[in-house]
């Protein structure tokens, strides 16, 4: 029991320390090795990051819009495709096909797609990056939702049909209420993939479609660790929010199961 508690404390420290370090780094103007503590704390870099640089603000809004649309479209499309595939006789073949984009590293996959995006004239555009990200997030949602269509779910839908309910009624009153956890998870995972994506943005977007992840790498290359720390903390924020939401959702589901 003590070893489990000690292991939990170690894991907590390993998770919290990078965030604490980035926070302190973003609030200092000078922290040079071998000094253990920064000389002074200031909000100068945050002021520059959030208010003093309009391009960063536009990049933040662009990233939120891109990731939100990718999350919503992937959630709806992938969920519907998984529903259609679940009633096919060759269901397993379609699921195996959905794994194909994950046979390559994201950057390699982006380079494979770049030729077709150049031919279509959408390379280096916002729509091109949006479409490229959908090509990998939609199959992921299909895989995630494939196991959601169990025999019990199908029997519930058939029960609604036998009582005179339409397919639309079965979806709105039975399927969607029971599918909220998997829908939320699908949106969260698709949003985070787009939010943390660097390969598609840099290759398909050719650096023209600005996101915070792209700016983070630029700040690192420019040896600006303080602004990079601000950018990294803002990038981590959605992941932390979704982690809290998912944990609360799981705890509520456990309470409902016990009741």
For residue range 82-112, list pLDDT tens digits in order. Answer: 988 888 888 888 888 899 888 888 888 888 8
How is residue 47 written in tokens?
């002021």
Distances (CA, A) of 231 to 70, 150, 220, 221: 21, 42, 10, 14
Domain 58-210 fold: MetI-like fold (1.10.3720)
Residues 33-67 pLDDT 10s: 667 777 777 777 777 777 656 677 788 888 889 99
Per-residue pLDDT band at 167 (split at 50, 70, 90): confident
pTM above 0.85, yes or no: no
CA distance 117 to 185: 29
User: What is the model's pLDDT at position 257?
Assistant: 41
Every domain of the chain and the residues it spans: 58-210
| CA-based radius of gyration for the chain | 22
**Which is nearest to 77 in space by CA: 158, 148, 150, 183?**
183
pLDDT of residue 147: 83
- What value does the mean pLDDT take over residues 172-201? 86
How does 228-239 read in b/e, with b if 16+ C-beta sit within 10 Å? Answer: bbbbbbbbeebe
Of residues 234, 246, 188, the one with CA closest to residue 45: 234
Alpha-carbon span 63 to 209, nearest angstrom: 9
- Higher-scoring residue by pLDDT: 31, 72: 72
**Is the peptide bond prior to 56 cis by the omega test (within 30 degrees of 0)?**
no
């Amino acid at each position: 029991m003590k070893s489990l508690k000690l292991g939990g404390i170690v894991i907590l420290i390993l998770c919290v320390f990078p965030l604490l370090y980035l926070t302190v780094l973003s609030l200092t103007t000078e922290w040079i090795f071998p000094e253990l503590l920064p000389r002074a704390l200031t909000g100068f870099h945050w002021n520059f990051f959030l208010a003093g640089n309009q391009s960063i603000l536009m990049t933040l809004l662009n990233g939120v819009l891109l990731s939100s649309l990718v999350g919503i479209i992937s959630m709806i499309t992938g969920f519907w495709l998984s529903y259609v595939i679940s009633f096919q006789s060759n269901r397993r073949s379609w699921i195996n096909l959905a794994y194909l984009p994950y046979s390559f590293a994201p950057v390699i996959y982006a380079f494979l797609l770049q030729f077709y995006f150049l031919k279509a004239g959408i390379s280096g555009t916002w729509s091109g990056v949006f479409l490229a990200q959908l090509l990998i997030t939609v199959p992921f949602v299909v895989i995630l939702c494939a196991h959601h269509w169990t025999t019990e779910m199908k029997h519930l839908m058939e029960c609604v049909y036998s009582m005179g309910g339409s397919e639309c009624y079965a979806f709105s009153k039975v399927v969607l209420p029971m599918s909220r956890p998997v829908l939320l998870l699908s949106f969260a995972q698709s949003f985070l993939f787009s939010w943390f994506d660097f390969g598609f943005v840099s290759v398909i977007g050719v650096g023209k479609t600005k996101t915070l992840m792209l700016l983070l790498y630029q700040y690192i290359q420019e040896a600006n660790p303080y602004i990079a720390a601000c950018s990294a903390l803002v990038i981590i924020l959605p992941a932390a929010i979704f982690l809290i939401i998912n944990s609360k959702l799981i705890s509520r589901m456990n309470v409902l199961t016990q009741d």
